[in-house]
Amino acid sequence: MRSIVEGESCPAFENPAFNTPPPLNEAKVAIVTTAGLRHEGDPSWQLRDPSFRVFASDDRDLQLGHISPNFDRSGFIVDLNVVYPIDRLNELAEQGVIGSVAPRHYSFMGAQNDTVFTILMDSGKAVAKMLKDDEVDVVLLTPV
């Protein structure tokens, strides 16, 4: 895996955006996962699909739509929080470790290679706007 990734190019950004978040115990936190999660009835994920799905904080009826036949689904079957740790995030909020849990969370399909530019310029920007609209301070990325 390392040898494959080492050969990939990485874009350079002249003026990357960066904000200093508030202390974690005051921060609103959202999840962005690449688990390919979806609601029953949502369109199925396709190979190299740069779209995303949106979930409310109380949604638990999620399906793992990852299309790779080699993907190990056993952890997800036992506990949704393995790929989408929403219950753990709620516990952290109840304990005062984080300020609050965002009202919306997002899932992309993993294993993207030639669609990264589309995600960067289109769907990624759309999710970033929704995160900003929800006044999210911190994003928990769960790469699957």
Q: Say which residue, 129 or 116, is predicted with more confidence.
A: 129
Between CA 97 and CA 90 the distance in angstroms is: 10
Between CA 13 and CA 98 the distance in angstroms is: 30
Q: Say which residue, 27 or 122, is predicted with more confidence.
A: 27
pLDDT per residue over 16-67, tens digit each?
777 889 999 999 999 999 888 999 888 887 777 778 899 999 999 998 887 6
Rounded to whole angstroms, the maximal C-alpha distance in the chain is 44
Three-state DSSP class for 116? helix
Find the mean pLDDT for residues 109-132. 77
Domain boundaries, the chain: 24-142
Examine the pLDDT at 83 and tell me if it is beyond 70: yes
- Give the phi and the psi of residue 92 in degrees, each rounded to 5: -65, -35
Examine the pLDDT at 119 and tell me if it is beyond 90: no
DSSP 23-64: PGGG-EEEEEE-B-EEETTSPPP-TT---EEEEETT---EEE
Q: What is the pLDDT of residue 26?
A: 98
Q: Per-residue confidence at 115, pLDDT binned at 50, 70, 90?
A: low
Nearest to 127 by CA among 106, 102, 100, 103: 106
DSSP 73-111: -HHHHH-GGGT--HHHHHHHHHTTSSSEE-SEEEEEBS-
Q: Per-residue confidence at 12, pLDDT binned at 50, 70, 90?
A: confident
